[in-house]
């Protein structure tokens, strides 16, 4: 089994001021606010087909890790997420697989797994959504 990356799903940035970052990404760069999770201070912004997630540098959503500065993690959209096969594949290559959980991403809610690269960066492998996000049209035919 090889992992087939389809693109960047999202990136999570820990920021000193969510309001200041929101003004930059929304008002300067033109990203559209898509979703908030107030319990962890998360604001998700649409950046084309991907998301930029903003969380407070300190707080429920911005837990500090010794190996990270202001990037929490980035998510790679994978073509499929077959949990048993993916676990075997990763273990055979010396990578400790994380737990599979349903998480929200650029295309909606779906399965994902966290792993860590050799430098301690967290990478989320994000599978296809259980259901496409609202407003997304199904594509027909080949791309």
- List the structure tokens of 98: 């994380």
Distance CA 133, CA 65 (A): 31
Q: How far apart are the first and last CA of the chain?
A: 23
**What CATH number is given for 5-126 in this structure?**
3.10.180.10
pLDDT in tens, 36-80: 999 989 999 999 889 999 998 876 554 554 445 688 898 999 998
pLDDT in tens, 72-131: 898 999 998 999 999 999 999 989 999 999 999 999 999 999 998 876 778 899 999 987
pLDDT in tens, 27-41: 878 899 999 999 989
Distance CA 93, CA 112 (A): 19
Give the residues across from 114 on adjacent strands: 124
Give DSSP secondary structure letters for 111-136.
EEEEEE-TTS-EEEEE---SSPPTTP
Distance CA 111, CA 8 (A): 15
137 falls in which pLDDT band (50, 70, 90)? very low
Domain boundaries, the chain: 5-126
């Amino acid at each position: 089994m090889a992992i087939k990356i389809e693109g960047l799903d999202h990136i999570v940035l820990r920021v000193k001021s969510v309001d200041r970052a929101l003004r930059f990404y929304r008002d300067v760069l033109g990203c559209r606010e898509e979703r908030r999770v107030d319990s962890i201070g998360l604001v998700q912004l649409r950046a084309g087909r991907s998301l930029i997630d903003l969380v407070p540098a300190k707080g429920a959503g911005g837990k500090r890790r010794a190996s990270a500065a202001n990037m929490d993690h980035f998510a790679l959209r994978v073509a499929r997420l077959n949990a048993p096969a993916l676990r075997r594949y990763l273990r055979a290559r010396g990578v400790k697989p994380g737990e599979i959980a349903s998480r929200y991403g650029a295309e909606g809610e779906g399965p994902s797994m966290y792993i860590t690269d050799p430098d301690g960066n967290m990478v989320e492998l994000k599978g296809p959504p259980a259901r496409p996000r609202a407003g997304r049209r199904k594509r027909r035919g080949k791309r």
